[in-house]
Amino acid sequence: MKYYIIAGEASGDLHGSNLMKALYKEDPTADIRFWGGDLMQQAGGALVKHYRELAFMGFAEVVLNLKTIFRNIKLCKSDIEQFQPDVLIFIDYPGFNMRIAKWAKVKGIPTHYYISPQIWAWKESRIKDIKRDLDKLYVILPFEKDFYEKKHHFPVEFVGHPLIDAIHNRETTDAVTFRKQNNLDERPIITLLPGSRKQEISKMLTLMLSVGSDFPDYQFVIAGAPSQEYSFYEPFLKGKNIKFISNETYNLLSHAHAALVTSGTATLETALLKVPEVVCYKGSWLSYQIAKRIITLKYISLVNLIMDQEVVTELIQENCNTARIKSELTKILDPNYRIKLLEKYDQLEQKLGGVGASASTAKLIVKSIS
């Protein structure tokens, strides 16, 4: 069978790679063509376009890059037509993927969506497009099944969260070896995860590093995004005693004592690896003004959304400043606070279910098109 997969961000690349591995197990002769990143490329198949050429952050940034986005959409449609897949698999990235889904449905190509567009967060009216353009939808958050089936009468498959798989299958290095390999000292590690896109990294890393000198008993280590070269981070490191480790986020978090995390998938990854965190987000003024008028969620981090309570502190926009970051980081370093937080993390993992999201999804896809 021929599979065409579209993932447009770092998290999609991770989940796409695990899905591809599962598809190859279910269908050893699978012919896979994809838009994604390095992890998917390592899994096999043919890369059409890397996600680093696709990701634009915020509403204003998307508007400024519309010409590039439309050019990519045209290229994608043309490539799909030439490949003639048996199924088209979308992974998150709804702004792009739902446009392709609408076109593909008319063309008669089966459309499967893995990791639901977050219409429960904003633009719930998109349910009309989902019902019209998607043949199958695989959801990964426990509340999504009720949202789609009870509220909107659209059948979906809850497959569990693929991060459980990714974390379960990760390669680990013991603490002594890890520190030695990366030239780290014996002080506890505070990991900085400033995001994956250049715009957010620039803004968030500057803020995160502003508290470095206030915690001399800890060492700050930046988790480099796989989509960015070291040269991009280099200016932030000059004159600072800060370490940088790229492409080893899970390994780094496994040995971390605490973390400052830009909102996104990384907030859930950090929690599942049992690392106390402070969630930070500060976008452009225009993007934030637009977002707060159309997004009705109580929280921005997946941890809090899934638990439906503030488990981790969220510092958003004007609250994301040096003083607040220092205060909240001090709080999560307190042993008593940490114990209570880690108990909440255990409850979070139970809600998400066990391993097997990638395998379950692959089986359902293959069965559907066989």
Q: What is the pLDDT along the chain (370 residues), one digit of tens a residue?
A: 999 999 988 889 989 999 999 999 999 999 999 999 999 999 999 999 999 877 555 555 555 567 778 889 999 999 999 999 999 999 989 989 999 999 999 999 999 999 998 898 878 999 999 999 999 999 999 899 999 999 999 999 999 999 998 898 888 899 999 999 999 999 999 999 999 888 889 999 999 999 999 999 999 999 998 878 999 999 998 878 899 999 899 999 999 999 999 988 899 999 999 999 999 998 776 665 656 655 667 888 999 999 999 999 999 999 999 999 999 999 999 999 999 999 999 999 988 988 899 999 999 999 999 8
**166 domain residue, yes or no:** no
Q: Are residues 197 and 147 in the same domain?
A: no
Q: What is the structure's pLDDT at 300? A: 87
Q: What is the structure's pLDDT at 36? A: 95
Q: Are residues 287 and 309 in the same domain?
A: yes
* Token pair in block for residue 111: 């459309």
DSSP letter (8 states) at residue 218: S
DSSP letter (8 states) at residue 109: -
In Å, how far are 10, 250, 251, 360, 365 from 247, measured between CA atoms?
11, 9, 9, 27, 30
Q: Are residues 183 and 332 in the same domain?
A: yes
Alpha carbon distance 254, 249 (integer Å)? 8
Q: What is the structure's pLDDT at 34? A: 98
Q: Are residues 302 and 362 in the same domain?
A: no
Q: Are residues 344 and 364 in the same domain?
A: no
**341 domain residue, yes or no:** yes
Nearest of 105, 111, 75 to residue 91 by alpha carbon = 111
Residue 282 CA, distance from chain mean position:
17
**152 domain residue, yes or no:** yes
Q: Are residues 87 and 52 in the same domain?
A: yes
Q: What is the structure's pLDDT at 290? A: 58
Q: What is the structure's pLDDT at 264? A: 81
User: What is the pTM (predicted TM-score) of this model?
Assistant: 0.79
Q: Are residues 201 and 282 in the same domain?
A: yes
**300 domain residue, yes or no:** yes
Residue 303, judged by CB atoms within 10 A of its CB (0-12, 13-18, 19+), counts as buried
Nearest of 141, 92, 70, 146 to residue 299 by alpha carbon = 141
Q: Are residues 210 and 138 in the same domain?
A: no
Q: What is the structure's pLDDT at 168? A: 86
**165 domain residue, yes or no:** no
From edge to edge, which strands make up the β-sheet containing 157-158? 46-50, 31-36, 2-7, 87-91, 111-114, 136-139, 157-158
**167 domain residue, yes or no:** no
Alpha carbon distance 230, 240 (integer Å)? 15
Q: Which helix (H) or strand (E) element contains residue 126?
A: none
Q: Are residues 235 and 338 in the same domain?
A: yes
**CB neighbours of residue 12 within 10 Å:** 29
* Token pair in block for residue 72: 């990519």
In Å, how far are 57, 115, 273 from 229, measured between CA atoms?
18, 28, 25
Helices (H), 215-310: 230-237, 249-254, 265-272, 285-294, 302-307
Q: Are residues 335 and 359 in the same domain?
A: no
Query: CATH code at 101?
Result: 3.40.50.2000
**14 domain residue, yes or no:** yes
Between vectors from CA 302 to CA 296 and to CA 305, what angle results, nearest 5°? 50
Q: Are residues 182 and 114 in the same domain?
A: no
Alpha carbon distance 314, 309 (integer Å)? 11
Q: Are residues 358 and 343 in the same domain?
A: no
Residue span of the structural domain in which 54 resides = 2-160+354-369
Count of positions (residues) in the chain? 370
Alpha carbon distance 177, 73 (integer Å)? 45
**CB neighbours of residue 218 within 10 Å:** 17
Nearest of 276, 280, 299 to residue 118 by alpha carbon = 299
- Provide the b/e sequence for 233-259 (b: ≥16 CB within 10 Å): beebeeeeebbbbeebbbbbbbbbbbb
Are 278 and 192 spatial neighbours (Cβ–Cβ below 8 Å)? no
Q: What is the structure's pLDDT at 244? A: 96
What 158-161 contacts at long range (C-beta under 8 Å, 24+ apart), as own/partner pairs, is 159/356, 159/357, 159/360, 159/361, 159/364, 160/352, 160/353, 160/354, 160/355, 160/356, 160/357, 160/360, 161/268, 161/352, 161/353, 161/357
Question: In total, how many domains does the chain have?
Answer: 2
Are 189 and 223 spatial neighbours (Cβ–Cβ below 8 Å)? no
Q: What is the structure's pLDDT at 64? A: 56
Q: Which amino acid is at 300?
A: I
**309 domain residue, yes or no:** yes
